Chain A
Amino acid sequence: MQKQLQEQIERLKKAGATYVDARWYPVEEANYLMMWNGNLKATTSSRESGVGIRALYKGAWGFSASSDMSNVGALFDKAFDNARVAAERVTFPVRLAEKEAIQASFSSPNRIDPFAVPLADKISFLKAMDEKLDQAGVAQRVCELIFMRKQIVYIDSEGSEIEKTIIEVFPSIEVMGLDAQGEMHSRKFKPARIGDTRGWETVDMQMFTENADRIVKEMNEVRTAEDCPKDDRSVILLPGIMFLQTHETIGHALELDRILGYELGFAGGSFVTLNDFGNLQYGSSKLTARADATLPNSPGSFGYDDDGVAAQNNLLIDKGILVGAITGRQMVEEANARARRQIFNGSGGTNRATAFYRVPIERMTNINIDPGEDGSLEDIIKNTEKGIILDGDKSWSIGSNREQFHFATDIGWLVEDGRVTNVVKNSTYKGETVKFYNSLSAVGDQSTWQVRYVDNCGKGQPNQIMQLGHGVPVCRFDNVRIGE
């Protein structure tokens, strides 16, 4: 197949395409198991294969994809034809940043291949967890296992040929219960990164058992708690919500295609402008953020992106100052040209597609916040006069330019004079992005830092779901509106 793809790439080049690539997925498979209140509602496996072709002609992209490999030539023709029509409306001809021709391979690190584990073992795990969660106060219990494996062969007209095998494992448990007013509350556990591999070993029965007891206990505390007060307080975000805060208001805000207006028709833009790089005080000096696709064992680490560029670790925010973005080959060229200065030195290697039938776009890798020097969670609490500790992603809504946000969390613990007092329910907080990050007053040390996984980040049209990670510490922000 590789030879056939190479020949077709050469054929399109001779026909006038300035760049062509093919992503062939010999096989992509997934396994989804979901038990709800003891009922195995989903026992699903899936398998797909196919190829996606991207062609650049007179500065415009064309794309075509199919699972039917019987006439690959026609597929290349379709991509080229789509590019030809797109070339009739070009305002800034696509140019691609320089890169090396790479022959390489990448495999996700895992000790135990989850696809080699018998189905019966997976169901036994769910059953054990379901029984563990079946406790007083719990009205709904949900246990899920998601496994994915993608084989990707990437070939381009610049001499690169890269083979990747990506394995993902996403286990989770959740409990829900009603309070006296009939309102539903939930608490969930999705494990943070454990060690340097993510095979079946991620599904650690002892860890899940301990956390099952914890989430039931906390959910029951929420059920009988008072409502979160409407107040201005310091908010202390645990990794279970800090990852999402980072995702929505640093990650998406710094995708270069959004900044350049390529997502305005749907997902939105960004308050960040090209003039802001090197200048904008995005946050307090305690804030250092990076896009690190080299972090071992995370969905945000994939070896090489779908432009054939090697994974990198790039600063986004350096001690509060905006210095970088989430970038691919096309966008860095356009950004530098539009800004009339060299903001970006080549692609950041973040272009990824969710499947063979989708086109690569800028996606988050591991968008991380560096640990700080404000000690442990206990230290931060001790130094907080009036605050609230928040955890668990219940709801999130962000302005179209990522300029403001509203989050609800699963649980809140009020803090008064350096002590945790009581649990509250229906906790929410809201803010304006730049003002919020500039109120960052404490960043926890390495002991508080966790890598949280995201298995369902949506972006683009046609929509694409992507997997990624966030390494985040406990963070405290001051004067934040809560309870609305």
Chain B
Amino acid sequence: MKEQILQTLCELRAYALSKNIEAKFFYHEEDSYLMRFANSAISLNTNEHLIRLDISVYDDRKRASYELITDLHKLEEMKQGVDIAAEMVKHAMPLNYQPTVPTFAESFADETGFDSALAEISNEERLAYFNKAVEGLETDDIKLSGIFSCGANIIAQINTRSEHTQYFKTSDAQVSIVLSHSTLKWEVIAEQSAQKKSELNPSTLHRDLSYLIERYQNDTPQQIPLGRYDIVFGPAALGDLLNIMNWIGFNGGSMKRGFSFINEDQVGTKVFSDKFNLVDDPECLSTFPFQRDFMGLPRKTFPIFDQGVFKGFTWDQDEADEFDAQPTGHTVMHNSLVLNGGDAEVATLEELVAMPRENDVLYIPFLHYMNLVNPSKGLITASSRFGALLLKKDGSVVVPYNVRVTQSLLEIFSDKVAWMSKAQTVNNTSQSYGARNPTAIVVPTFVRVNDLEISHSNSSY
């Protein structure tokens, strides 16, 4: 298959060259499977096999692109796409900067992120995984929801500047299991991300769900008072916070356009807690990384925050071209963010609950529907969901109704960070809009931040 894909791209390159067209070709093939559960049944069982081809054509400072969903045996259709893009670029308007066309110095192929066992996992295995993860936990009232999403992804590239190609093949799985009470409406979650089949472990999810179910079944939920709390964020909440920071924090283009809460003067200065160490690590397979970017640049570990000090913005090629900056190898579909663990010896929810505490601590595992209130201030808002707990200082545990947090990222990761767990968790942040693009962020399993405000507290679910 690989040879056929690359051969097709070579033929398209030859076709473009024969017509004196400057072009680049981006091939994306996915074989996606999604088993979805709701009301303790399989509500949907799908698969999609799709091949997308993105043809970008350049004429000095002008560019245009044509995308099609196609098949490898439709070479003539793809060639027509080249012609259409070439016709479009004639009418495009010149940019006020020179766009860089990629020039691959050598061919590159990376299949280290591909595990055939995961890519070929069967319908029956997916169902068996779910059955094991929730064994004995469902009742007439407690219903199962969630997804088992998995698939294989191929990305391949060529351009008219060189005959070299780039080829990336990955496999991925995202599991999310929700157990919810059909009348009381509480809900708890356990999640897992896998890059290879051996990373799938339903027993871990069963353990987490069992603990939360025990709490939620036996405790009466409470509306907690508004005010300031010491909050422990779980991995999904942290993944979401870092994801949004990826956009309005250290992205060079966003900063230049005024959408960042960090400005150029802050490079080299302390922005966050000295416990905050964030890198983009293309060696970390759990994040489904790209070891070369789509311009052919080798990607290396890129420090973003070191002990809270901001090290620099990430730049993709187009933004770098526009703002006269140096590209940093970030012309990729996603970064590979890793927030280093700290020194707190806590790895599980049971251990977190057992930790001694001088104040009440609110545990928020998941932030629902996060949105930006004010990007210039890093101000976000979101509601807690899926298994929050109020850990009372007397050692008892209260189940709270959901609360809303409206806070600045600058405050959340400021010196108010009390500790980060040494243990880390892979939080799968994949979205299934458009082309398959598995993403994950590695985060400390728990991060405690003191003295954050709760701006709304629900009186029910």
A: residues with CB less than 8 A from B are 35, 38-50, 60-68, 70, 78, 81-83, 85-86, 88-92, 118-120, 123, 127, 139-140, 176, 178, 181-184, 260-266, 268-269, 271, 357, 359, 394-401, 403-404, 406, 408, 426, 428, 430, 458, 461-463, 465, 484
A86 touches B42 (CB 8 A): yes
Contact of B68 among A48, A120, A262, A357 (CB under 8 A): A48
Q: B176 — which chain A residues lie within 8 A by C-beta?
A: 265-266
Q: Indicate whether B43 reaches chain A with its CB closer than 8 angstroms.
A: yes
Pairwise interchain contact A85-B127, C-beta atoms closer than 8 A: yes
Contact between A67 and B180, CB atoms less than 8 A apart: no
Q: Is B45 within 8 A of A262, CB to CB?
A: no
**Does B40 contact A89, Cβ atoms closer than 8 Å?**
yes
B208: shortest Cβ distance to chain A, in Å? 16
Is A260 a contact of B39 with CB atoms below 8 Å? Answer: yes
A92 in contact with B39 (CB, 8 Å): yes
Pair A395/B371 contact, Cβ less than 8 Å: yes
Any A CB within 8 A of the CB of B97: yes
Structural contact, B67 and A46, CB atoms closer than 8 A: yes
Q: B375: which A residues are within 8 A, CB to CB?
A: 184
Is B397 interfacial (CB 8 A cutoff)?
A: no
Chain B neighbourhood of A83, CB < 8 A: 45
- Complex partner residue of A85 from B36, B85, B123, B460, CB under 8 angstroms: B123
Interface of A is mostly: mixed
- B182 located at the interface, meaning its Cβ lies under 8 Å from any Cβ of chain A in the complex: yes
Q: Is A43 touching B371 in the complex (CB atoms < 8 A)?
A: no
**A65 to B81 alpha-carbon distance, docked (Å):** 23
CB distance from B441 to the nearest CB of A (A): 18
Closest 7 CB pairs of A and B: A48-B69, A265-B145, A462-B432, A86-B42, A46-B67, A183-B376, A82-B45
Interface centre among B39, B95, B131, B382 (most CB of A within 10 A): B39
Which stretch (B86-94, B199-207, B357-365, B414-422) binds chain A?
B86-94
Residue B51 interfacial (CB < 8 Å): yes
Cβ–Cβ contact B38 & A262, under 8 A: yes
Closest to A31 in B: B88
**Contact among B34, B258, B383 with A397 in the assembled complex (CB-CB below 8 Å):** B383
**Residues A266 and B66 in contact in the complex (CB < 8 Å), given A120-B91, A397-B370, A461-B34:** no
Q: Which of A91, A395, A403 contacts B381 (CB 8 A)?
A: A395
Closest-CB distance, B253 to chain A (whole angstroms): 10
Q: Given A86-B45, A357-B50, A462-B432, is A67 in contact with B69 using a C-beta cutoff of 8 Å?
A: yes
Q: Chain A residues with Cβ under 8 A from B71's Cβ?
A: 67-68, 70
B458 at the interface (CB under 8 A from A): yes
Interface centre among B43, B147, B370, B460 (most CB of A within 10 A): B43
Q: Which residues of B contact A465 (CB under 8 A)?
A: 433
Contacting pair B41 A268 (CB below 8 A): no
Q: Give 5 new A-B contacts, CB below 8 A, not counting A92-B39, A398-B383, A463-B431.
A: A47-B67, A66-B48, A268-B369, A404-B456, A461-B44
Are B91 and A398 in contact (CB-based, < 8 A)?
no
Is A395 a contact partner of B66 (Cβ separation < 8 A)?
no
Q: Are A462 and B34 in contact (CB under 8 A)?
A: yes
Given contacts A265-B37, A265-B176, contact A39 B95 (CB under 8 A): yes
Selected contact of A184 from candidates B81, B93, B259, CB within 8 Å: B259
Cβ of B370 and Cβ of A82 under 8 Å apart?
A: no
B372 near A261 with CB under 8 A, answer no
B186 to chain A, nearest CB (A): 11
Q: Does B124 contact A (CB under 8 A)?
A: yes
Q: Is the CB of B42 within 8 A of A90?
A: yes
Assembled-state Cα–Cα distance A399/B51 (Å): 37
Residues of A within 8 A of B41 (CB): 60, 86, 89-92
A-B contact pairs, 11 of them (CB 8 A): A47-B69, A62-B45, A85-B42, A86-B44, A91-B40, A184-B259, A260-B39, A265-B178, A406-B455, A461-B149, A462-B432
**Is the pair B146, A265 in contact by a Cβ cutoff of 8 Å?**
yes
Known contacts A91-B39, A359-B44; decide if A426 and B374 are in contact (CB<8 Å). yes
* Interfacial chain B residues near A65, Cβ < 8 Å: 46-50
B147 nearest in chain A by CB position: A461
Contact partner, A40, options B93, B258, B372, B381, Cβ 8 Å:
B93
Whether B370 contacts A401 by the Cβ 8 Å rule is no
**In the bound complex, CA of A45 to CA of B56 (Å):** 10
The answer to whether A43 and B369 have CB atoms under 8 Å apart is no
| B63 nearest CB across to chain A (Å) | 7
Contact of B381 with A458 in the complex, beta carbons under 8 Å: no
Contact assessment for B68 and A261 in the assembled complex, using a CB-CB cutoff below 8 Å: no
CB distance from B187 to the nearest CB of A (A): 6
Q: CA separation between A140 and B263, bound complex, in Å? A: 17
- Which residue of A is nearest B368, CB measured? A400
The answer to whether B69 touches A400, judged by C-beta atoms less than 8 angstroms apart, is no
Q: Are A269 and B431 in contact (CB under 8 A)?
A: no
Question: B88 to A43, Cβ gap below 8 A?
Answer: yes
- Min CB distance, A34 to chain B, in Å? 12
CB distance from B334 to the nearest CB of A (A): 16
A261, B180: Cβ atoms closer than 8 Å: yes
- Whether A265 pairs with B147 at a CB distance below 8 angstroms is yes
Binary contact track B417-452/A, C-beta < 8 Å → 1, others 0: 000000000000001110000000000000000000
* B34→A44 contact, CB < 8 A: no
CB <8 Å contact, A49 and B69: yes
Contact B383 A43 (CB under 8 A): no
Q: Are A463 and B433 touching (Cβ within 8 A)?
A: yes
CA distance A41 to B253 in the complex (A): 13
B456 surroundings in chain A (CB, below 8 A): 404, 406, 430
Partner of A399, one of B187, B368, B374: B368
